[in-house]
Structure 1
Amino acid sequence: MAGDVVLISGGARGIGEALARAHRERGDTVVVADLHPTADDQLQLDVRDPDAFRAVAERVVAEHGRIDVFHDNAGIAVAGTMPEMTRQHWDDLIDIDLRGVVHGVDAVYPLMRAQGFGHIVVMGSLAGILPVPSMVPYSAVKSAVVTMSRALRVEARRHGVKVTVVCPAFVETPLLDHINPGMRRTRANRVGLRLVRQLQGPPMDPDALARIVLTALPRNPETVLAPRPLAQLAVLGERLVPGVVRWASGLAVERYLTMSDKDRADA
């Protein structure tokens, strides 16, 4: 068996699919678990079910002997101003993007502790470091994910387990085309992608992000920011001149609230 044994939640599409592709190109053994598998060798997993997550992790160890790298990746995107949010926006986001991440840690971390090694890679977001208006629930949940990962990193290292949180800006994935899945639609469903392109430029290519992550992991960084230099400059601005960042965020909210459907057609 060549390379690492890698488990990826939410690995059938988007960033997870790109991570799986990059690991396989490196010669790793990859197990993909997803709510909607797209191949026969992928495992079905609802990350909201802690028992199902534990069963998947234990199956990987039973079949492959260990888990070297776990990408705690599955998630959804929720966007819109607070008046547009419903209880379902909050509940679904917390259940998948926060509790789902915790369920992954609960399933894999004890196995890695027992084997004495492993790397947990949590998919956070730049929105978890920079407060993003018009994405208040998403920013709040990702902030919790970032903090959890950083705190777990300190605890886990005494057991030989590494923890890294990945914080990208917007990435070109199906999430951008399926904002607020199964929920009441918001203006973000009509104009969100156009606004992203105005603020960031083209969303980041997921394969480029996967390459950045795999290149960084041997160095065991606490946080991986992408893309360069946009993410690094944004975080530096948040630390040094938060007032300027809030001013710029306010302009983005005004743009969001006044953007017309014609802008969407031009996207």
Structure 2
Amino acid sequence: MSIALDSRVLVTGAASGLGLALVHQFVERGGRVLATDVHAELPESLRGLDRVSYLTLDVTQDVDWARARDWVVEEWDGLDYLFNNAGVAAGGRIELSEMDQWQWIVDINLLGVARGCRTFTPMFKAQGSGHIVNTASAAGLIHPPRMSEYNAVKAGVVALSETLFHELKPFGVKVSVVCPTFFKTNLTDSLRGKDEAANASAAKLIDRAKLSADDIAARVMSGVSKGRHIILTDRDGKIAYAAKRFARPLYYSMMNKASIQMSKKD
């Protein structure tokens, strides 16, 4: 099943990274995109793109979500794809994390996705169609050490997506969850936490990643067009997830080895 021309798409976190790459993917396919982000003015990265409109949307604010829904109704009379993509990063050793950091990442990465799903589900049900695509992470399926906050919220996004996959299927609404590993992006710009060693390690993994946001976006589009529920975008994620599912001792060995290596650097 290919993605139809003239599809109506809303993307959160669309000004940079994977969100911006997804916008370009849909534009290339003749889609109409409502690109949203927290910026009050149209970001430079989105200027000059045909068939792209911009709306300020802070995913933690219900009033912003209501405004986005009203825009979609007034301008398009419906929506085909909702990409809950906006996200931030935090991590480190549990004893160095603070509760305001936990609240920040939960509000954006988990409750932001929940708000988007909650806002547009009635529309999708009424249409009898629609596709929700939630950006999680391989960290939502496998849980490496020193990533407590990030692992927890991304696992929550995976759980929410699976729940809605079953809940909305009788209404003709599809749900996918995207689970990439590290790729080149600006996620480190949002990185918070007092564990400087963990922050440096995450930044290094992102900087050394072979895949770009454009690479990941193309694979996401392939998975969406095929109607996949869990979209694993790269080899490392597929291997780690398979190990956890089918070779649990090997998976535990991998996680233990990673933890020991990290502890030696403390």
Fold match (TM-score > 0.5): yes
Q: Provide the C-alpha distance between the structure 2 equivalents of 1:154 and 1:136, rounded to a whole number of angstroms.
A: 27
Q: 1:83 aligns with which of 83, 95, 117?
A: 95
1:204: how far off?
A: 2.6
1:187: how far off?
A: 2.1
Give the aligned partner of residue 138 of structure 2: 126
Contact 1:169 1:204 survives alignment (8 Å): no
Q: 1:26 aligns with which of 12, 29, 34?
A: 29
1:205: how far off?
A: 1.1
Q: Provide the C-alpha distance between the structure 1 equivalents of 2:63 and 2:126, rounded to a whole number of angstroms.
A: 19
Q: Which runs of 5 or more residues in structure 1 are unaligned?
A: 261-267
* Over 4 Å off, 4+ runs: none
| Aligned amino acid, residue 104 of structure 1 | G
| Aligned amino acid, residue 154 of structure 2 | K
Matches within 5 A, 1:87-106: 87-106=99-118
1:258: how far off?
A: 3.8
Q: For each residue in 1:152-191, what CA deviation from the matched residue of structure 2 results, as whole angstroms up to 9, or x when unmatched? A: 01111111111011111112111134311xx545322333
Matches within 5 A, 1:248-259: 248-259=254-265
Give the aligned partner of residue 11 of structure 1: 14
Structure 2 length normalisation: TM-score?
0.89
Q: Provide the C-alpha distance between the structure 1 equivalents of 2:5 and 2:200, rounded to a whole number of angstroms.
A: 46
Q: Provide the C-alpha distance between the structure 1 equivalents of 2:239 and 2:185, rounded to a whole number of angstroms.
A: 23
Contact 2:220 2:233 survives alignment (8 Å): no
Contact 1:9 1:72 survives alignment (8 Å): yes
> How many residues were matched structurally?
254
SS at match of 1:42: strand
Q: Structure 1 residues 247, 177: CA separation in 2 closer, same or farther (over 3 Å shift)? A: farther
Q: 1:215 aligns with which of 201, 218, 222?
A: 222
Q: 2:148 aligns with which of 122, 136, 144?
A: 136
Q: Structure 1 residues 206, 196: CA separation in 2 closer, same or farther (over 3 Å shift)? A: closer
Compute the RMSD of aligned alpha carbons: 2.0
Q: Structure 1 residues 235, 185: CA separation in 2 closer, same or farther (over 3 Å shift)? A: closer
Q: Alignment identity in percent?
A: 31
Counterpart check, 1:192 vs 2:202: yes
Give the aligned partner of residue 238 of structure 2: 232
Q: Provide the C-alpha distance between the structure 2 equivalents of 1:203 and 1:119, rounded to a whole number of angstroms.
A: 29
| Aligned amino acid, residue 127 of structure 1 | A
Q: Provide the C-alpha distance between the structure 2 equivalents of 1:203 and 1:169, rounded to a whole number of angstroms.
A: 11
Q: Provide the C-alpha distance between the structure 1 equivalents of 2:210 and 2:198, rounded to a whole number of angstroms.
A: 15
| Aligned amino acid, residue 48 of structure 1 | T
Counterpart check, 1:52 vs 2:64: yes
Give the aligned partner of residue 42 of structure 1: 54
Contact 2:92 2:194 survives alignment (8 Å): no
Give the aligned partner of residue 263 of structure 1: none
1:232: how far off?
A: 1.5
Contact 2:6 2:30 survives alignment (8 Å): yes
1:47: how far off?
A: 0.6
| Aligned amino acid, residue 110 of structure 1 | P
